[in-house]
Amino acid sequence: MEKKQKILNDPVYGFISIPYGILFDLVEHSYFQRLRNIKQVSLTHYVYPGALHTRFHHALGALHLMQQAVISLKGKGVKINKREAEAVMIAILLHDIGHGPFSHTLEKTLIDVHHEELSLLFMQRLNEEFRGRLDLAIRVFTGKYKKHFLHQLVSGQLDMDRLDYLNRDSYFTGVAEGVIGYDRIIKMLNVVDDRLVVEQKGIYSVERFLTSRRIMYWQVYLHKTVVAAEQMLRLILHRARELADAGQTPWSPPSLAYFLNHRIVRSDFYERRNDLLDCFAALDDTDISTAVKAWQQHPDPLLSYLSHGLVNRRLFRLEFSNEPFAEEYVDGIRRALAQSTQVPRQAAAHLIIQGKETNSAYTLTKEEIMVSVKHGEVVPMSSVSDFGITPRVFTKYFLCYPKEVS
């Protein structure tokens, strides 16, 4: 008897399956296999050593949760035919296929294009290769299909992407606060008037999910040491690009050298889609890591100083503040850097990084999570005041500079 699915052992969920057919063929495709070499949480392993899982793991986990969601919704009488089920699974499988090296860290650093737009371009390219079999998946992914709740399962405030990455990142970092009741949340989902809703008895699980997401952002994704490492990596690539612009391109693997020597913008991908997607698909974490390791010996003082610091975990100090830093304070650090003998003198002006990070566990800018209460009424989660969910954007300003400054 012919097998209908490929069984994999996932450390988070146990045995999961990939149906043979187009889903398995997409997983086997080189564009998807590339995700094995892109870390899910970038440089978080500098703080949490176990956080070395990849976008490949995450995409398969999100696919598994989508399978569970489709089964649960169909069990409640929600009409999802085979084509729609396959389409929503393809959409979640490929939702992150456009991520570049180190995920969000280098987004808009090497190329000025958002990863979701690249994911769509990859899906369109694959659709041509698979002779139109991704048509419906693309409509679901872009929210243009008539059954809107399918898009919400892929991209919403309670989608399978978020359910997987919170649970998975919690597992690999060891941060228990991120553990969520994903299985209960999935079983509490339903559809009313073509909109995804949560049954009222699942409200506490959703509240826990939102709380866990906020904690994970500040404790893991925006941990000050993680942010410092990511800012250093951005500064390294920025310096390499400056040298390339001056006709002094530092050695790097060919896939990276192309993007250092060419400033690729959004319009380029639409004019030369296939060629640029192939170039981009050849680029992953290993290319960046190899280059940064080699640049420790580069004659440019700034590039070698930063590269040596990142490779050997001599990371910058990062300070967070609820208010913008006073200019006098920043000037004091700038003067200390200029006088320091431990940092490259001519590079001192480049070594102060200022910025801000924002996080909102729950927002009104996206479709609200809707709750199905008594008598079939559906209300926004923010209006269910008993549960204390307040839409709010948290902002922290940061100042990042070498630790050599006392």
Render pLDDT for 142-198 as a digit per residue (tens, 0 to 9). 999 999 999 999 999 999 999 999 999 999 999 998 888 999 999 999 999 999 999
Residue 307 has pLDDT above 90, yes or no: yes
3-state SS string over the chain?
CCCCEEEEEECCCEEEEEECCHHHHHHHCHHHHHHHHCECCCCHHHCCCCCCCEHHHHHHHHHHHHHHHHHHHHHCCCCCCHHHHHHHHHHHHCCCCCCCCCCCCCCCCCEECCHHHHHHHHHHHHHHHCCCCCHHHHHHHCCCCCCHHHHHHHCCCCCHHHHHHHHHHHHHHCCHHHCCCHHHHHHCEEEECCEEEEEHHHHHHHHHHHHHHHHHHHHHHCCHHHHHHHHHHHHHHHHHHHHHHCCCCCCCCHHHHHHHHCCEEHHHHHHCHHHHHHHHHCCCHHHHHHHHHHHCCCCCHHHHHHHHHHHCCCCCEEEEECCCCCHHHHHHHHHHHHHCCCCCHHHHHHCCEEEEEEECCCCCCCCCCEEECHHHCEEEHHHCHHHCCCCCCEEEEEEEECCCCC
Q: Which residue has the tokens 């060629």?
A: 275
The mean pLDDT value for 325-337 works out to 93
Q: Does pLDDT of 406 surpass 80?
A: no
Report the percentage of the chain scoring pLDDT > 70: 97
Residue 192 and residue 372 in contact, taking contact as beta carbons nearer than 8 Å: yes
What is the average pLDDT across 266-281? Answer: 95
CB 212 within 8 A of CB 177: yes
User: Can you give the pLDDT at residue 381?
Assistant: 85
Q: If you average pLDDT over residues 251-269, what whole number do you get?
A: 94
103 Rama class: left (phi>0) / alpha (psi -120 to 50) / beta: left
Residue type, 291: A
Portion of the chain with pLDDT greater than 90, in percent: 80
The whole-number average pLDDT for the span 348-359 is 89
CA angle 177, 55, 188 (to 5 degrees): 50
Q: Which of 374, 371, 373 is nearest to 389 (CA)?
A: 371
What is the phi/psi pair of residue 134, to 5°?
A: -105, 10
* Separation of alpha carbons 244 and 372, rounded Å: 57
pLDDT digits (tens, 9 = 90+) for 14-38: 999 999 999 999 999 999 999 999 9
pLDDT of residue 374: 80
Q: What is the pLDDT of residue 177?
A: 85
Find out whether 267 and 327 touch, Cβ atoms under 8 Å. no
Residues 229 and 316: their CA atoms lie apart, in Å, by 7
Mean pLDDT for the stretch of residues 214-231: 94
267 φ, ψ (degrees, to nearest 5): -65, -30
- Does 211 score more than 70 pLDDT? yes
Q: Are 279 and 258 in contact (CB under 8 A)?
A: yes
| Choice among 209-218, 287-296, 323-332 with the minimum mean pLDDT | 209-218
Distance from C-alpha of 59 to C-alpha of 32, rounded to nearest angstrom: 9
Domains and CATH numbers, the chain: 5-223 (1.10.3210.10)
Quick: pLDDT tens for 234-250: 999 999 999 999 999 99
Q: Are the C-beta atoms of 93 and 137 separated by less than 8 Å?
A: no
pLDDT at 1 over 60: no
Average pLDDT over residues 279-286: 96
How confident is the model at residue 182, as a pLDDT?
94
Residue 383 has pLDDT above 90, yes or no: no
Q: Check pLDDT > 80 for residue 349.
A: no
CA-nearest of 252, 243, 216, 229 to 361 is 216
